[in-house]
Chain A
Amino acid sequence: MDIARTRLLIAVISRMLAGCRTVAVGNSSPIPGAATLLARAMGAGSMRVLMLGSLQNNSFTDGGRELFDCAAQGRIDAFFLSGGQIDGEANLNLVGAGEYPRWQHRFPGSFGSAYLYYLIPRVILFREEHTARVLVPKVDFVSAPGTSPPEVYRQGGPAALVTGRCVFDFDRAARRFRLASLHPGETAETVRANTGFTYDAPADVPATLPPSEAELAVLNGQVAAEIAETYPRFAAALFGRRSAA
């Protein structure tokens, strides 16, 4: 694990959650999970966190369907999705690369993406691997489309794409990503060379803001302890810390 970069990604995602009242985090999402806990801590604890796989930060009691019902009721402001492939219109593919149905590379599957992408207002896409094999011109299978025609009921969708190299904002009207900031060590050219889809970019791309001293202090203290409950291996690698459990 690249510890400095992981901390940067956590801080970047955390800032995107400012103002959210309720944030849900899916399974197998340690970095979005840590980012959400950081946002809650920086916001003085007023944010409600629903983290799947956690007991301490998950108040669902009505089984697997409750997250989805809750999203449909408009109670969840932000969520995270990823993809084996993501294209320039923010279409997500979690099923397979190659040809249906026997796929050259079969991915796990769509999980709840084909539903939550439509219903949660602010969906942050996160995929640490930023290569042309992941960020493709057109996905081989649409698990969930980035945008929908006006007649389709849609309360939500992609807000941004965070990768190991940069941050893209997503313009839903233009159906295009726009390069928003570059992580340390990256240039407009390295991002261009590793991105399979076309996107917009300003003449001067700002650097991604590093975590502040205050953010790092909270991350290494309170958040490290909280995230270890759900992601002990991740916490051990990032913070050298073991779960108390």
Chain B
Amino acid sequence: MTSPSLDELAARITPGTLVAIPPDYSGVPMALTRALVARNARDLHVLAVPTSGIQIDVLIGAGCVAGLEAAAVTLGEFGLAPRFTAAIRAGSIRMRDTTCPAVHAALQASEKGVPFLPLRGLIGSDILRHRADWKLADNPFSSGDPIVYLPAIKPDVAIFHATKADRDGNVWIGRRRELVTMAHAAARTLVTVEEIVEGSLLDDETIAAGVLPGLYVEAVAEAPRGAWPLGLQDLYAADEAELARYAEAARSEAGFRAWLDRFLGAWPAAA
């Protein structure tokens, strides 16, 4: 496994790529997000698994995003995601609304290599009405039982941040198993970690089940405090002051630009 720089990692995410990103409670790769913005990434199609917050708001505000599929975009207790909201209003990104379990199920279909999975719920929702790619069909085993079929989603690239990896590309993810689903489903997975450790994470039977094997991982880059200003598992908490500053600044285009300049310039000193 190679160990590229953050910039080299970001360079592998080319225009037109479908990128899967994790939710705020998992490992959000903010250092890699900064590298993408610094490289002026363009025309990304993003799948939030299944929601996103400051990461997608920064990418949208910086003009990196052409399309987004998400079950929700929010800064949580810091309010609406302002650049996302502005982009929807301007019609500058193509938004596909979904619901959390539909994202998980569509990725699971790719995990299994099958073309679709059926999912309960959804019937009568306007989410379904606006999704020409989803099909309302009959349960083939029981008549009179309508059910929604979701096509598999195969992201070109999955990206996330985790606490540690070894030199074989094995990544410790603990109980954050949506990261495993993302990596199984995606054609390629690029990971950032707090640190790369010696030895193999698979040698210890007590932690092996919490490891994403290097089989699924194309590259790992080191990025200390790489989720900042978000938190990472039990390692460090979210920087609430910085998230509040972002939420306030990003309410205007000019405020967002000023915050972004600081974000691009400050790393990792401010972290």
Binding site for B on A (CB under 8 A): 27-28, 52-53, 55, 60-65, 68, 72, 94-96, 100-103, 106-119, 141-145, 148-149, 151-153, 233
Contact = CB atoms under 8 A, between A and B. Distances in A.
A138 B121 CA distance: 21
Given A63-B176, A108-B81, A143-B126, A115 B97 contact: no
B85 interface: yes
A68 B103 CA distance: 11
8 contacts: A95-B97, A107-B80, A108-B73, A110-B127, A112-B50, A115-B101, A144-B121, A151-B146
Interface in B203-224: none
Contacts of A95: 97, 126-127
Interface string B74-94: 101100110011001111000
Contacts of A63: 104, 175-181
Contacts of A111: 51, 71-72, 99-100
Given A65-B181, A143-B126, 7 more contacts: A55-B234, A61-B177, A65-B104, A111-B72, A112-B100, A143-B99, A148-B123
A144 B175 contact: no
B46 to A, nearest CB: 14
Contacts of A64: 23, 26, 49-50, 100, 104, 178
Contacts, number: 138
Interface string B222-234: 0000000000001
B33 to A, nearest CB: 19
Nearest to B48: A109
Nearest to A64: B178
B120 A110 contact: no
Residue of A68, A107, A149 ringed by the most chain B CB atoms within 10 A: A68
B145 interface: yes
Interface in B115-159: 119-128, 130, 144-147
Nearest to A116: B121
A108 to B, nearest CB: 4
